[in-house]
Chains A and B, each alone.
Chain A
Amino acid sequence: MQNYFYSLSETLFKKLQGKEQLLLGFSGEDSDFVRLNHNKIRQAGSVSQREISLDLIEGKRHTQAHIELSGESEQDKAKLIACLIKLRQQREFLPEDPYLFFATEINNTEFHHDNEVVNSQQAIEQIIHTANGTDLVGIFANGKQYSGFANSMGQRNWHSNANFNFDWSCYHSQDKAVKNSYAGFSWNREQLSEKFGKIKHQLDILSKPSKTITPGKYRAYLSPSALNEIISMMAWGGFSLKAHRTKETPLLKMIEQGSKLSPEISLIEHHARNLAPTFTQSGFIKPEKVKLIHNGQYKDCLVSPRSAMEYDSKTNSDSEYPGALDLAGGNLAEKDILSELGTGLYINNLWYLNFSDRNVCQLTGMTRFACFWVENGEIQAPVNVMRFDDNVFDLLGTNLLALTQMREFIFDASSYGNRSNSSIELPGALINSMQFTL
C-alpha cells in the first residue's frame, strides 16, 4: 500500500507546472465488520477503502480534493491527473489564502505495525461460543489501517497498523445490560473469557429488582468509561485554539475568568502514543505531547496549521480535536472505590451528553448500562436510567474527591466514514455530589 501511494505521488509530482506545489494525504483501511445481535450474526462483511487528498498550491492560492481510489494503478493515475487539471483550473478563480500553512522542512517518518492480522472468522466463532447463553449484541471490527503523506518537496510519511476492536453488551432484560470492549493487536482467547467471566458477575447483580432514584444530588463514582464521556464533551471545542479565540469554547470560564478545575486534573494530548499518525496532513510532525490542563489550570490549546497562521501561534496538531488524551491517575485504590463511595451511585456508563449551557460547561446526559445503587460500600441494586444536569467545574472541580490509581485504556470504537484511531487513557472519578433531574 505504501509503495502504491508513493508511486501515485511520483506520477502526480511529475505533472506539476511552474512553481506549483502539491501536498498529498492518504488514508485507507481493509476492515472486517461483523455485527451481532442475540449472540448471532446480524450482518457480516468486509470493506476496502483508499482515499487520496490533494492540495494544489501556487503562491498563496490553493484548492483541495478528496478522491476515492480503486486500487488499480492506471485507472487511479488517470483519475488523479484529471483531478489535478480541474484543481488547476479552479484555483484561477480563487483569492489568495492568508492562512495557508504547510511544512517546508523535510521530515520523513515510517511506522509499521501491521504484520499480524487477527483471523476474523475464528474470532467470531470464539465470541459466539464464549458468549453462549447470553444475549450479546455488538460489533467486531478488525483489519489494517493506513495513513500517508507526501509532498512535492520530497517529504514522505507512512503509518500503518493492524488492530481489532470488539465492542459489545450483554443484556439481562429490557434496558439492563453490561457493556464491555476488547481491543488490541493480537487476539487472546483467555482474555476474552476473563472479560465474559466478569460480565456474568455483573449480570447477576442486574437480576435484582431495580431502583428508581428521585431527582436530586447524589454522591457518585464514574468509571473510566463514564468519565470519558465528560472529557469528550470538554474536548468539543474546549482544547481548540480557534474555539478559544472566537469565544466558542465550553471552557470559556477558564479563559475569561481564570476558573480552575481540581488540582487533580492533569490532561495531555499524547501524540507519541502512535495509534494515530504523528504527522499532519500539511506535513508537520506533531510534538510528543501537548499539556492541555495541568493541576487544574488551563495550559495549551491544540493548534492546527491554519489556526497557527491565523492567530500567530505554533502548530502542534492536525485538527483541533484531541485523539490521544491522557488523564493522570490519582490515589484512590480500586479495592477502595465502593467503601469510599459509601452510599450513592456507581455509574459504569454515561450516554448522549450535550451542553445545557455551553458558556459555563453545563452538561446534561443519561446514565446507561450497569449502573448500581450502593449503600455503605455494598452494591444493592441496579438503577433505572436517570438524567443528570451538572457543571464540569463542579464535577471535576469542587466536587471531585479522588481519581483512581487504576487507569483504563479505551480504544475508540466509532467508525463514521472510517475506523477511528482515537484513544484515551484515564482513571475513574469519585464525585461528592452529582445533580440528577429526570
Chain B
Amino acid sequence: MDSPLSQIAQRFAKHAPSADFWTLRLSDETQENICVRQGVMQPVSNQLAQGGLLTVVVNDGCGYCATSDLSLKGLQRAFNQAKEWAKLASGLSLLKADDYPRPEHRAQYETPVQLHWNDMPLNEKITLLQDANTALKINDHIVDWQAMLGMRCEDTLLTSSAGAHIEQRFNYINPGLVAVANKGSITQYRTGGGLQSARQGGLEQLPLLEFPLAAPTLAEEAVALLSAEQCPQGKMDVVLAPSQMILQIHESIGHPLELDRILGDERNYAGTSFVTQDMFGSYQYGSELLNITFDPEHTEQLASYAFDDEGTEAKREYIIRDGILQRPLGGKSSQSRTHLKGVANARQADWFRPPIDRMANLNLEPGDLSVEDMIANIEHGVYMQTNRSWSIDDSRNKFQFGCELGRVIKNGELKGLVQNPNYRGISATFWRNLAGVGNQQSFQVQGVTNCGKGEPNQAIYVGHASPSCHFSDVDVFGGAS
C-alpha cells in the first residue's frame, strides 16, 4: 500500500491530532473529453483534481473540512477546522455520537478494464469520432450532430483513526451520439451510443453501448420523427424500453426510498418522500412482478464499488421483492438514526462534499417475457424509448415523463413512429400496474450521470439496469405542437 494517496494518508496518520474519531478520504481524479461537432474537432478538455475530506467527531458533534492542500500542514489545518465545526455542532447536532460510522476495514478494489484509454492513441480516437460524426449527417434535415468520447479515472482512499484503509480505483468511459433534426418549426432529437449512460470499464465497453454503430440509425429516426404523427392520447398500455425504464426506476423508486429523504434532510431542496419508515417489510410497492435490487456486483455499472464512502462493505440486497418493499436506500448513519436495515450507499460526488445517501446501482431484475411476447399481449398502446423530459413532485409521487421516440402498438404489433410521447402517473399506483417484465435478452445496463441532490449540491453517477417493461392503464399524451 505505497500509492501516492497511501503515502499522504500514512504521513498524516503519524501526526494526526487527537479527537474522538476521524476519517480522511483522499481523491485523485483525471478526466479527458473529446468531441467532434458538425465535423469540427472541439477543444480537448483535460481535468485533474486532487483533494481530501477530513471528518472529525467530538462528542455528539461532527465537522468536516475539504482541502486540496494535501501537505502535512495543510491536512493538519483542515483537521483543526473540522474539529472546530465538530465542537460547535456538539451541542446542536441532529445526530448522536453513536450515529457516526467508525470504519476499520482494510481492502482494495479496482474496476476491471480490458482495453485502457491510452491503448488507443489520440489520433485514432479523433478518427473514430470524425467517422461517427460523419455517419450522423445523413441529410440536410440534420441541423446539429455530435459524437463524443470521454474517460474518467478516480483513485480514492478512505482511512480512519480506527485503522481503516480502503483503496479503490474507478474507471469510467463516457461515449455519446447526438442527432438533431429540423423541419420548419419542428425539431426532434435522438441520442444514444452511451450518452448519459456511461459505464465503468475501458474502451471494450463501446460496442456494448452501440458506439459508434448506432449513429446512422439515430439520425434516421430523428429525421423520421419530423413527419411522424403526434403520440395518441388516452388511457392505454405502454411498453418502456430500458432507456426509459432507468429514469422511471430512478425517479419513482430510487429517490423515494433514499432514507435521508424519508428522515427529512432533503426537504428544503430535493424533497421528501411519500414512503414512511413503517412501510418497510409490508408495503405493496408494485405488482408481484416487481423485483428491485441494490446491486454493486455488476462491475460495468456506474456505481459498482466494494465499500461506500462511510467505509461500509457493499453487498447485493433486495429493495423490493415480489412487489413488497424490503429495505430503504440508507447508509450506516441513516440506519443508525432509524434502526432500519439499509445498504452501503453513503456516497460523496466530489472530494469536497460529505457523504449522503445516494442511489448506487439500483436494478429491476429480469422476468420471463420476450419483448415480442410482451407486445403481442397488447391490443392498443405505445412503445417508448429514451428519456428526454422528467418531472416529479417533491414527495416523488405525481410524475410526468417524456421520451424521444414512440411507436404505436396495435393488435399485438409494433406500428409507425409517433413524436413527443409523454405519460403521467402516480408512483404509489403506477408500479402496481406493472403487467409484464422482459427477460434477460432485453436487460440492459445503463445509468444516469447527473443525479442531483444534497445541500451543498452534489451531482453523482448512478447505475440502473432493467429489461423492457409493460404497464397497463397509463395516461398517455403527445405534444402541443
Contacts and interface: CB of A to CB of B under 8 A. Distances in A.
The SS class assigned to the B binding surface is: mixed
B400 A65 contact: no
Interface stretch (B59-67, B132-140, B374-382): B59-67
B224 to A, nearest CB: 16
Interface centre among B45, B85, B398, B422, by most chain A C-beta atoms within 10 angstroms, is B85
Interface string B409-441: 000000000001010101000000000000000
Contacts of B68: 48-50, 68-71
Contacts, number: 256
A41 B58 CA distance: 14
A246 B459 CA distance: 28
Interface in A237-296: 246-248, 252-253, 256-257
A81 interface: no
A167 interface: yes
Contact of A175 (B62, B390, B394): B394
Contact of A124 (B47, B88, B94, B352): B88
A64 to B, nearest CB: 5
B187 A33 contact: no
A352 B393 contact: yes
Interface centre among B64, B82, B184, B268, by most chain A C-beta atoms within 10 angstroms, is B268
A45 B65 CA distance: 5
A70 B70 contact: yes
A94 interface: yes
B457 A415 contact: yes
B268 A179 contact: yes
Given A50-B68, A65-B48, A93-B123, A139 B455 contact: yes
Nearest to B86: A44
Contacts of A437: 400, 424
Interface in B391-413: 391-395, 398, 400, 402
B389 A354 contact: yes
Contact of A354 (B89, B390, B456): B390
Interface centre among A37, A75, A365, A385, by most chain B C-beta atoms within 10 angstroms, is A37
A360 interface: yes
Interface string B81-93: 1101110110011
A128 B92 contact: yes
Nearest to A385: B393
B66 A48 contact: yes
B105 interface: no
B64 A417 contact: no
Contact of A64 (B45, B74, B390, B481): B45
Nearest to A389: B400
B44 interface: yes
A70 B74 contact: yes
Contacts of A360: 185, 479-481
A168 interface: yes
B180 A248 contact: yes
B44 A63 contact: yes
A93 B48 contact: no
Contact of B143 (A87, A247, A387, A415): A247
A86 B93 contact: no
A368 B393 contact: yes
A50 B49 CA distance: 10
Given A177-B267, A247-B180, A65 B398 contact: no
A416 interface: yes
Contacts of A358: 187, 389
Nearest to A141: B456
A137 B45 contact: no
Interface in A210-260: 246-248, 252-253, 256-257
A168 B400 contact: no
A49 B352 contact: yes
Given A43-B354, A137-B268, A356-B422, A94 B44 contact: yes
Interface string B36-77: 000011111111111100000000011111111111001000
Nearest to A357: B479
B187 A46 contact: no
A65 B456 contact: no
Contacts of B154: none
Nearest to A365: B391
Interface centre among A38, A66, A100, A364, by most chain B C-beta atoms within 10 angstroms, is A364
B457 to A, nearest CB: 4
B144 interface: yes
Interface string A386-405: 01010100000000000000
Contacts of A62: 43
A40 B93 contact: yes
B265 interface: yes
A43 B185 CA distance: 49
Contacts of B93: 40-41
Nearest to B393: A366
B350 interface: yes
Contacts of A257: 185
A267 to B, nearest CB: 22
Given A43-B64, A48-B67, A252-B187, A387 B89 contact: no
B452 interface: yes
A356 B400 contact: yes
Contacts of A35: 265, 455-456
Contacts of A414: 457
Contacts of B180: 246-248
Interface string A85-126: 011001001110111100000000000000000000100110
A12 interface: no
A316 interface: no
Contacts of B62: 43-44
A249 B249 CA distance: 29
A183 interface: no
A45 B354 contact: yes
A364 B185 contact: no
Contacts of B85: 44-46
Given A44-B88, A246-B143, A357-B480, 18 more contacts: A37-B94, A42-B95, A43-B354, A46-B66, A47-B352, A49-B51, A49-B352, A51-B49, A67-B49, A87-B46, A90-B46, A94-B126, A138-B268, A171-B267, A174-B272, A357-B481, A358-B187, A385-B395
Interface of B: 40-51, 61-71, 74, 81-82, 84-86, 88-89, 92-95, 121-123, 126, 143-144, 180, 182, 184-187, 189, 263-265, 267-269, 271-272, 350, 352-354, 389-395, 398, 400, 402, 420, 422, 424, 426, 452, 455-459, 475, 479-481
Q: Which 8 A-B pairs have the closest CB atoms?
A: A357-B479, A45-B64, A139-B455, A246-B144, A247-B182, A415-B456, A40-B94, A65-B46
27 contacts: A35-B455, A35-B456, A40-B93, A40-B94, A42-B95, A45-B66, A64-B46, A69-B68, A83-B48, A94-B126, A97-B42, A98-B40, A167-B268, A175-B395, A179-B268, A247-B180, A257-B185, A352-B393, A356-B400, A357-B479, A358-B187, A359-B479, A362-B480, A366-B392, A366-B393, A385-B395, A385-B398
